[in-house]
Amino acid sequence: MNTAFPAVEFDAAIIGKLSQSGPRYTSYPTADRFQNDFGYGQFLEAVAGLRMRRSRRPLSLYIHIPFCDTICYYCGCNKIVTKDHGKAATYLGYLKQEIAMQGRLFDGMGQIEQLHFGGGTPTYLSDRQMGDLMEHLRANFDFAPDQQGEYSIEIDPRTVSPGRVHSLRVQGFNRISLGVQDFDPEVQKAVNRIQPEAQTRLVMDAARDAGYRSISIDLIYGLPKQSLTSVARTLEQVIAADPDRIALYNYAHMPHLFKPQRRIAEADLPTPAVKLELLALCIGRLCAAGYVYIGMDHFAKPDDELAVAQRQGRLQRNFQGYSTRAESELISCGVSAISAVGATYSQNEKSLDGYYAQLDAGRLPIVRGIKLENDDLIRRIVIQKLMCNTELSISSMEQAHPIQFARYFEAELAQLKPFEAEGLLTIDPQWITVTPKGRLLIRNICMVFDRYLSLARENAPQPLRYSKTI
């Protein structure tokens, strides 16, 4: 296994030639393959199977808070924009009911070693509401000590004071993620998110004073009004702010799927060529500043838990992106949230009314999901290893599963040959290894192993539902 990961190499010609729409592989099978005949009963069977096997794997918990005060035009998240904070009180009542049900199901089966609050805007909840919710979580789950667990929350720096940042630390959070996207005033105006740099730095300073273990910043390239000059200026400001992690997302303009994006003038968007130059600029500046390229859209300092987990082979991908707990069962609570338990994925109702109705009926609000077959499990491991480790041990796969790799994946290995010819990976009898040049196109490489994509291409043209791989 690699102890040091190769740098990433940017090749605009190959990226321009190979970029296409494709999954991000936060799961395999991907969420669009979930089935409506998977529900509460199938989830209970999966949990019962874990209990029967006396599973004591660590647990990961995701809590979805869907509310926002204002709309950011680029956003593609499942959120509810409202100034009526009374809706949050109703939602919390139902969320606590779901948490209690999940707590009973997983009682005695392991400690929570990872917690993530996402949204929406989790800090839409008041300080009192958040404190009450964290107490409720601790009453229903056994949490690992602060120094052992990774407990993170996404915040909007426009909505929290330094005092609130300190309060969140006292309530149990030890990692904080800040939405920034871009510091340029014209870009902020174009996406309806006015957020001065000084406001963000104030929150970061408070987080350091409060003793958070890790501070993360989210950036987006490809937004309206962005230029090489403006993004270079934002990068200088971000590097000076010195976050532990940086998530650099590609803006996927899909107004047919996300209504708020219809307010963005397409004429203001960077051209595909400029967008590639923006990506090259970001990667070059961040790596030169000492950040490690983790994969896809994640960067971290060499001593951050994310970089350490990758070096130690503990990195995984889940619905929040790259994560440090490779063997955790993921329990997710809240509207639209997705759990990964045993060999299953399950998703909650996407609407508040549907979510409330299921809980009123005494059921977990699971509306769809999938039970993985052996082939799914094998392919999930292949995709996970390539995404997280940049390499795959063929002999390890053959030892863990009753397959002869070259025969089982004969068609896929043939499809990888053009990638090998382009210098994106190497294949020998023992290893598939992604090169520095191939790391940016890892989604393309993993798509070769996606059986559902192959079946879809054979049957009919698919609607545009994925973002571009680059």
What CATH number does residue 453 fall under?
Answer: 1.10.10.920
Helices 127-140 and 86-105, packing angle to 10 deg: 10
Count CB atoms within 10 A of the CB of residue 252. Answer: 17
39 with 19, same domain: the answer is: no
369 lies in a domain? no
144 with 219, same domain: the answer is: yes
Of the two residues 167 and 53, the one the predictor is more confident about is 167
Tokens, residue 24: 């991000």
Our separate counts of H helices and E strands in the chain read: 17, 19
What lies within 8 Å, CB to CB, of 91 at 6+ separation is: 65, 66, 67, 335, 352
Question: Any idea which of 3-12, 58-67, 411-420, 434-443 has the lowest mean pLDDT?
Answer: 3-12
- Provide the pLDDT confidence category of residue 469 given band limits of 50, 70 and 90: low
425 with 322, same domain: the answer is: no
Mean pLDDT of the chain: 92
| Alpha-carbon radius of gyration of the chain | 22
- Determine how β-strand 175-181 pairs with β-strand 214-221: parallel
pLDDT at 163: 97
Count CB atoms within 10 A of the CB of residue 155. Answer: 23
Indicate the helix (H) or strand (E) that contains 385: helix 374-389
For residues 273-299, average pLDDT: 92
405 with 294, same domain: the answer is: no
Residue 445 · residue 425 · CB < 8 Å: yes
Q: How does pLDDT run across 333-358, given as a tens digit for each residue? A: 999 999 999 999 999 999 999 999 99
- The percentage of residues in the chain with a pLDDT greater than 90, rounded to a whole number, is 77
124 with 187, same domain: the answer is: yes
48 with 92, same domain: the answer is: yes
pLDDT at 326: 66
pLDDT at 1: 40
What CATH number does residue 41 fall under?
Answer: 3.80.30.20
1 with 41, same domain: the answer is: no
pLDDT at 57: 81
208 lies in a domain? yes
- Determine how β-strand 112-119 pairs with β-strand 80-81: unpaired
For residues 445-455, average pLDDT: 92
| Residue listed under structure tokens 């060499």 | 302
Question: Any idea which of 97-101, 163-167, 257-261 has the lowest mean pLDDT?
Answer: 257-261
280 lies in a domain? yes
pLDDT at 8: 86
Domain that holds residue 410: 1-23+374-461
Q: What is the distance between the alpha carbons of residues 264 and 190, in angstroms, rounded to a whole number?
A: 7
Count CB atoms within 10 A of the CB of residue 388. Answer: 21
466 lies in a domain? no
197 with 107, same domain: the answer is: yes
Query: Count of domains in the chain?
Result: 2
| Residue listed under structure tokens 């500046």 | 285
321 lies in a domain? yes
For residues 279-288, average pLDDT: 93
Among 333, 365, 384, the domain boundary falls at 333
pLDDT at 252: 86
Among 274, 304, 333, the domain boundary falls at 333
111 lies in a domain? yes
355 lies in a domain? no
pLDDT at 458: 58
For residues 130-158, average pLDDT: 96
- Provide the pLDDT confidence category of residue 17 given band limits of 50, 70 and 90: confident
pLDDT at 244: 97
3 with 64, same domain: the answer is: no
For residues 243-258, average pLDDT: 91
Question: Is the model's pLDDT at 2 over the cut of 50?
Answer: no
Amino acid at 393: S
Among 333, 359, 384, the domain boundary falls at 333
Tokens, residue 52: 């029967």
Amino acid at 258: F
172 with 266, same domain: the answer is: yes
350 lies in a domain? no
402 with 285, same domain: the answer is: no
For residues 133-157, average pLDDT: 96
181 with 201, same domain: the answer is: yes
